[in-house]
Amino acid sequence: MWPAIKPRLRKGAALYFSHGFAIVYRDQTGVIPPENVDVILVAPKGSGRSVRANFLDGSGINSSYAVRQDFTGRALERTLALGIAVGSGYLFRTTFEHEVFSVLTGERGVLMGALAGVLEAQYQVLRKNSHTPSEAFNETVEELTQSLIRLVGENGMDWMYANCSSTAHRGALDWKDRFRGAVAPVFEDLYGSVKNGNETRNVMAANSRPDYREKLETELKQIRESEMWQAGAVVRSLRPENWKK
């Protein structure tokens, strides 16, 4: 879209981004704004669906903000106004570089990639040791999403530990450092790949292929039809809130 947008930018306009990708990796994207516009960022910390749902609910969602280029002298004012307009519950300062480095690391790490990988690993170990699909899924995913992560969200990890059984918090405290040590090198490699642009090159190359959507659906289908997530579909249907649906 950049070749269509750039000629329409008038002097004093605000070029607003919700992600630092295009600007930070401009050597790959070709997105180099003219000097006579403001270049600003408000990046909601959630999926588009969550941003919209929280907006309608009136609760908002946290966002980071940054000013890359202040031509008018009003770039910060414009940025904060946009942050309020999209329903941000809280705004915190960042830079375009920090925003994109943290987002790409987080998406591939704890938020999505690492989360999916760790869940699959635990599920498979339980199944290998004769636990049923229902038990393996409930102990791996359902309890996390329906109980524990909510406690973390309310008051933090220590509060969640304090509000679980002694067998749970004692075991978690004893094992968390081993998990941290095991995955820390992977996160170091991941951050380096983000910072040097390799992840961007991979994304752009894959997304530019004419059959990308078909290949993506094949990959997602493999997850959807795996035993773990087939069990998950059944477990979700049995939640009390779904009984009357």
Task: Tell me the per-residue pLDDT of 41-99, one tens digit each, with 9 for 90 and over.
Answer: 999 998 889 889 988 888 888 999 999 999 999 999 999 999 999 888 899 999 999 99
Q: What are phi and psi of 146, to 5 degrees?
A: -95, -15
At residue 244, does pLDDT exceed 80? no
For position 57, what pLDDT does the model report? 87
Distance of alpha carbon 41 from alpha carbon 188, whole angstroms: 26
pLDDT given at position 30: 95
- What's the whole-number mean pLDDT along residues 222-244? 92
What average pLDDT is seen over the chain?
95
- What's this model's pTM, rounded to 2 decimal places? 0.90
**Separation CA 169–CA 140 (nearest Å):** 16
* DSSP symbols for 58-126: T--EEEEEEEEE-SSS-HHHHHHHHHHHTTEEEEEE--HHHHHHHHHHHHHTTTTHHHHHHHHHHHHHH
Annotated catalytic residues are 19
